[in-house]
A and B are shown apart, each in its own frame.
Chain A
Amino acid sequence: MIGFDPSDEQQLIVETVHHFAADEIRPLARECDEAAKLPESVLARAYELGLVANALPESCGGGEERSAVTGALVAEELAWGDLAIALAILSPGLVALPVAEFGSETQRDTVLPRFTSAHYTPASLALLEPGLAADPFHPQATAQRDGESYVLAGRKCLVPWQDGLGALLVFANEEGTPQGFLVPVDAAELSVEPSSLMGIRALPTAELALDGVRVPAENRLGGASGSDLRRILTEGRVALAACGVGVARAAFEVARDYAKEREVFGVKVAQKQAIAFKLADMAIEIDAARLLTWEAAWKLDQGEDALKAATLAYQQVRRVALEAADGAVQVFGGHGYIRDYLPEMHLRNARGFASFEALALV
């Protein structure tokens, strides 16, 4: 039966995460963006709340059965607080979830405990590549089998690169098929160039150059059977779409509240149809984008191929997040351009969804 109501349990999770986002993430969002630094204590708190471990299967030390719908609900709330901090909180999933889903027994046994231990441990996924022709399904980076090892070569960009990375998963082209490889973060042939981005500034990111990085054959994700990038990308798009909905909603709410406060020509600016209709459009588009995201997540939970649904949802979210953030700047007028207020940051963050497109975040 068609339904649109989160279960009682999901509702409780949403409320908990929302309070956390409102009380602990949002107040630090501006300061972290300016300092280009993550709030370690908030990440630790998020970890205590079980936001990452809960997304892992119970057999891997996780909390409960994984649900992409629940994941989308959580991601929206976190990103509503702040996108960069949300991405950091969710980063362990970049490796933990593909390993939980596709990893060999050894990989699960060695990698997953790092993400269910007592402390928050970030992880990273190197998927995107520089250049306009980049296509995640056909990476330029290569993986060559050489005896009992693989040799990786190529460049990656927009790679989250926090201190103390617990694991790094690199996708490369192995004889025409994209495959994932667990790469030691301190590999000698791996050079790391920190990058500075327009938005999500609090999240450290890097460009990687792999110059013949040699990893044992058993580091291939899924061992001999490999992994399915299509599924990983689909999950990533759904989670990113949910983050985009969160950013859009944050921008919308900030704009709405400001419009109800700000006086113009003797009335509140929200009483002007030019502004009120813009806000109405934002509200409609955000709800529509959220429902598309939920549908894609639900399809994932049903075990269906959700790539098309995820792509459609993501395309909408990308537009809606940008329009909502741009709309918020506009509603604020000159103040929207000033860094004392959040809209300019929302706009910088929202534009990123075009670039993150293929950044799998699971």
Chain B
Amino acid sequence: MPISFDLTENARLAQQHFHRMALEQMRPISRKYDEQEHDLPREWVEWYWKHGRGSAPLRDGPGDGFVQVCIQAEELCWGDAGLYLRTPFAGLGGSAVAAAGTKEQKARFLSVFQGDGQPVWGAMAITEPQAGSDSAAIQTTAERDGDAWVLNGTKIFCTGGEGASSVEGGFVVVWATLDKSAGRAGIKAFVVPSGTPGMTLVGVEDKLGIRASDTATLRFEGCRIPQENLLGRAEVKKKSSKAGGDKGFKGAMATFDASRPIVAAMAVGVGRAALDFVHEELERQQIEVRYDAPPTRQTALERDVLEMEAELQAARLLTWRAAAMMNRGKPNSLEASMAKAKAGLAVTRITQKAVELLGPEGYSRKLLVEKWMRDAKINDIYEGTQQINQLIVARRILDYPSSMLR
């Protein structure tokens, strides 16, 4: 699309719709589920399942595609990032199935999210105690046994993992290796339906922020799943993994190209919550922010606010650019990582600055600002830390394979 910063009418309607949802359904219970960390936020989950799903008021005519998806994420995370992550969605696991699954697999695992039953969750389990950003170091194994796959290992930091592993209808997409000696090429993604024997919910983490979100540890001990739950092909192509054309690992990796802009948009939502509040508070106290003051007359507060606004908008535009590229099917892993790296850091700083600007009140749990600061930090960590995204960007701009820049 030509250079334009005009949202379609559909995107604007979606923005208003999800903003209202965030304001009316999330904000009132935001503090409650920050405090009651491991309780299911029943109000939100049930309301969303009954009224929130597919409720966006779309008209005939064009929309903004993935940009619109980012807008939805921004608005709902403006509401509450923890609750957003606890929403009954297919989540990252669903994105992996959508990206790498067959038609049959998509129907089998995803249709329940459109169904009339109880709320369900999907999740993706990649991280292990000894393998975080270095996903090729995964130790969880998958072995063939007749017409089944048998999984053994431990997964941590699985967002949505409690709901996805224990509530009927949900599933966890588990990354496991068929052949440790093959490195990345040996890693495949497997769909483990909730309640599968051998998959145990060990516990959920106590976290700095996004406390409404269930971050699970899952153990797999002789966990048997049907052969047809593998995403992609079973064949391990050593060395030539790049030319393999296997939608499995690469497909699952490709979900990051799609998910990083969304995570960046989520980050922008949290940052905007804090910035909007700062503006409201300044207005209440009748403190004006001038955009045309010469540098020597600008107040420190004005300088901070301008900086926060520019950083937030910069993050949003990088995010939308990565999303707009997806609309046209253009490879966007560089731009997605740029957006994620910028947004994670920008909102970490913006929310920290918001607490500072609001003084003792900003530090008080009477307000949500301190919560947003805690919530924001995760965006600089999950879906690839700041540093991993810098590494990806660096490899791309230098045109280096991973072997040349480690």
Contacts and interface: CB of A to CB of B under 8 A. Distances in A.
Contact of A1 (B62, B311, B404): B62
A284 B317 CA distance: 12
B393 interface: yes
A213 B140 CA distance: 83
B291 A357 contact: no
A341 interface: no
B8 to A, nearest CB: 5
A2 B67 contact: yes
Contact of A357 (B67, B295, B395): B295
A109 interface: no
Nearest to A358: B294
A265 to B, nearest CB: 14
B114 interface: no
A221 to B, nearest CB: 20
Contact of B296 (A132, A271, A285): A132
B324 interface: yes
A288 B1 contact: no
B10 to A, nearest CB: 10
A276 interface: yes
Contacts of A135: 293-294, 297
A104 B14 CA distance: 46
Decide if the interface of chain A is mainly helix, strand, loop or mixed.
helix
Interface in A317-362: 354, 357-358
B5 A2 contact: yes
Contacts of B391: 273, 276-277, 280
Contact of B314 (A280, A283, A308, A316): A316
Contacts of B292: 137, 230, 307, 311
Interface stretch (B142-150, B189-197, B302-310, B348-356): B302-310
Contacts of B297: 133, 135
A188 to B, nearest CB: 32
A294 interface: yes
Given A2-B67, A4-B321, A315 B310 contact: yes
Interface centre among B64, B294, B325, B404 (most CB of A within 10 A): B294
Decide if the interface of chain B is mainly helix, strand, loop or mixed.
helix
Nearest to B320: A2
A303 B218 CA distance: 56
A276 B311 CA distance: 22
A158 interface: no
A3 interface: yes
Contact of B313 (A137, A260, A312, A354): A312
Interface string A223-239: 00000001000000000
A292 B293 CA distance: 20
Given A132-B296, A287-B318, A298 B5 contact: yes
A284 B310 contact: no
B7 interface: yes
Contact of B2 (A3, A291, A357): A3
B397 A256 contact: yes
B181 interface: no
A290 to B, nearest CB: 9
Given A134-B296, A256-B397, A292-B317, 19 more contacts: A2-B324, A3-B324, A4-B320, A5-B3, A7-B2, A256-B398, A260-B398, A270-B400, A273-B394, A276-B398, A279-B397, A280-B341, A284-B341, A287-B335, A298-B5, A299-B5, A302-B6, A308-B291, A316-B311
30 contacts: A1-B4, A1-B62, A3-B1, A3-B4, A3-B324, A5-B3, A6-B3, A69-B3, A133-B297, A135-B293, A271-B400, A277-B394, A279-B394, A281-B390, A284-B318, A284-B342, A285-B342, A288-B315, A289-B314, A291-B314, A291-B318, A292-B310, A294-B3, A295-B317, A302-B6, A307-B292, A311-B292, A312-B309, A312-B313, A315-B310
